[in-house]
Amino acid sequence: MCIFCKIIEGSIPCQKLYEDEEVLAFHDVSPQGPVHFLVIPKRHIPHILEAEQDILGNLLFRAQKIAGALGCAEKGARFVINCKADGGQTVDHLHIHVIGGRPLSWPPG
C-alpha cells in the first residue's frame, strides 16, 4: 500500500485540512513555503495520466477553496501536479501541491 493510502486509512497521521467521500487534503510534511498542502483522491490513482475528468475537477476545485481559506487569494499560489520520473513525482498516488505565502521563481530546474 502506498504512503498516501496509509494516510487515507489512518495508519499514518497527517495534518488534515479537508475530507469528503472522494478527496483528502493535508499539509505537506516538508513544506516549501508558509503554505504547502496536498490534495489527493481517496481512490488510489497513481498519476494524473490515469485520472478521469470528474475527480480532476473535484481535486482542483478543493485546492482552490483551501488556498483561499489559507490566505492565498490576494497574492496567489503555485498549483502543481508532478507526473512520473520526468515530472519529479516521488509518491505514486495522484496529488496536487499548493504552495504559497511567498514569491516563487519560474521556470523550475
Q: Based on CB atoms, which residue is closest to ligand AMP, 26 or 100? A: 26
Name the DSSP letter for residue 27.
Answer: E
Q: Based on CB atoms, which residue is closest to ligand AMP, 74 or 96? A: 96
Min dist. Cβ of residue 82 to ligand AMP (A):
4
Min dist. Cβ of residue 5 to ligand AMP (A):
11
- List Cβ neighbours of 84 (8 Å cut-off, separation of 6 or more): 47, 49
- Altogether, the residues listed in the chain come to a count of 109
Min dist. Cβ of residue 71 to ligand AMP (A):
20
Give the footprint of ligand AMP on this chain (CB under 6 A).
3, 12, 14, 26, 28-30, 38, 82, 88-91
Active-site residue flag, 95 = yes
Q: Based on CB atoms, which residue is closest to ligand AMP, 13 or 68? A: 13
- List Cβ neighbours of 94 (8 Å cut-off, separation of 6 or more): 40, 41, 45, 46, 47, 48, 50, 51, 59, 81
| Structural contact between residues 26 and 16, judged by C-beta atoms closer than 8 angstroms | yes
Catalytic positions:
95
